[in-house]
Amino acid sequence: MKMRAVSLALLLAGCKPVETGPVDGGGTGGQAGAGGRGGSAGMGGSAGAMGSGGSGGSAGAGGASGASGAGGASGAGGSAGGCAAGTAATITQVMNGSVTTGTQVSVRGVVATSPKFLASKGSAGACLWAVFVSDPLAQAAPYSGAIVLSSGARAVADASGALGPCPAGTDLIPTDTTPGDTFDVTAGVITYVRSDCATTTSPPPAPEVRLNSACSVQRVARGAAVPAPATVASVADLTNSATEATHRKWAGVLVRLANVTSQTAVGQTGSIQLTNGVRVRDRIYQATKTAVFPAGTVWTSLVGIGHLDVCTWALEPRDPCTDFTPRSQNCP
């Protein structure tokens, strides 16, 4: 690995561990699902592992994405056994409240706006994977984005009790998911906020609307145009707020802020506090990259996705080398 030279004052920003948080509570997962489809000339996907279910004990993880064979492309994601057909809906209908919470929905032709990432690893090893998706639009708009969550196999503890990494490829979202991939997804609509946020955060944050416990994630195409980021009229819409109606507009939506300044340098958790009150996090890219920005950095453009990170509404850039202008100091 090539070593990068950074100043002592910025060293902590580039040497933090991957942060993992608790996952949504839920009942025991369903039986393993069928494997994903293999790529052309590739091997088929492995059977899904027994997973911990999402809210209310929804079905566990199903087939993993198909593995590549010699000369073969990666396969599509799979679907869990017993995945019931959902009500046909768009992301916008889910997020603006047209679809009732608790409904199983099927959204078709949605476009990934982020790579796949580890949303959380619980203290007992439960692993929750995620991708942000959007209705297929030229320009992102209020209510047009959402987060899709899929449970994978649990992390295994060693003899000392320390948990290992979350096993990759054991959930339904293809491991090689990139922005521009097109999916058909069946999942349950929930709103989620950790119960302890009511006592640790003032005011407590509004819950996040999620496409939870996905039981079918089928990649149907690659290379679609990703919606251009939307402009947020008021940055207050992205800060910690108890108003669910406000956050429904921008949760999961790709947005751009212009001419913003960092109040803090990158912290050990990968967070940056902006002078306008917005918190910036690294949940999407923390497993592969770090960011190096000193306090007082001024960005002419900062692109990210609205997300409830633990107990704080935050903006989640996808890459410190492409979503920040100027980019991170440790980018090639």
Q: Tell me, what's the pLDDT at 80?
A: 66
Average pLDDT over residues 85-93: 96
Residue 292 has pLDDT above 60, yes or no: yes
Q: What pLDDT is stored for residue 1 in this prediction?
A: 43
Average pLDDT, the chain: 82
- Confidence (pLDDT) at 242: 82
pLDDT of 31 above 50: no
Over range 40-55, report the average pLDDT.
35
pLDDT at 301: 96
Sequence-distant (≥ 6) Cβ neighbours of residue 133 within 8 angstroms = 91, 107, 110, 111, 112, 113, 145, 146, 147, 148, 183, 185, 211, 252
Coil, strand or helix at 11: helix
SS3 246: helix
pLDDT at 67: 41
* pLDDT value of position 10: 39
Could you tell me what percent of the chain has a pLDDT over 90?
67
pLDDT digit string, tens, across residues 121-169: 988 999 999 999 999 999 999 999 999 999 999 999 999 999 999 999 9
Task: Report whether pLDDT(78) > 60.
Answer: yes
Pure H helices in the chain = 91-95, 197-200, 244-250
Please give the angle made by the CA atoms of 241, 95 and 83, to the nearest 5 degrees: 125
Given a contact cutoff of 8 angstroms between Cβ atoms, the answer to whether 79 and 176 are in contact is no
pTM of the model: 0.80
Contact 153/164 with Cβ under 8 angstroms?
no
Residue 199's φ and ψ, nearest 5 degrees, are -110, -15
